[in-house]
Amino acid sequence: MKITVSATGNTMDSQIDQRFGRAAAFVFVETDTMDFEAIDNAAAASSGGAGIAAAQLVADKDVKAVITGNVGPNAMNVLNAANIGIYKVGALTVKENVELFKKGELERISKTVPAHFGMGNK
C-alpha cells in the first residue's frame, strides 16, 4: 500500500512535521517494500491554499493513507473526497510512524484544526 507522511525532511529518518498543508516535505512510502520517494512541499510557503494544494499533490500520487499531525478543513475535504485515510502521529521519525501504521496502532483523524492553523492562527 502506498502512503505518505508529512515530514521535516526527505528521508525515512526525518522527523514528522505536525502540519499537513505547510509540511516541509512529503515522504511517500510503499509499505510492502519500504521503498520511498520524498517530495518538497511547494505549497508550504504559499500565502493561501496550502492545504488544498498539498492534498491534491498527495491525491495525485494515488496514496491510500496520510500520516500527519494536523489537517485543516479544506485539506480534509480533498483527502476525504479522494478516499484517503488520515492518521495522527506523535513526535517520531517517518520510519517509526510507518511501522506503527503497518501494525494498526495509529489513530484515525476525523476532525480538523481551524482554518489557517498551520500559519500560527489558533
Q: What's the CA gap between 85 and 32, in Å, rounded?
A: 17
pLDDT at residue 121 in the model:
44
Determine phi and psi for 91, rounding to 5 degrees. Answer: -85, 70
Sheet bearing 65-68, strands edge to edge: 36-40, 25-30, 2-7, 65-68, 85-88
What domains can you pick out in the chain, each with its CATH number?
2-102 (3.30.420.130)
pLDDT tens, 23-41? Answer: 999 999 999 999 999 999 9
Mean pLDDT of 4-9: 97
pLDDT tens, 59-103? Answer: 999 999 999 998 999 999 999 999 999 999 877 999 999 999 999
At position 40, the amino acid (one-letter code) is D
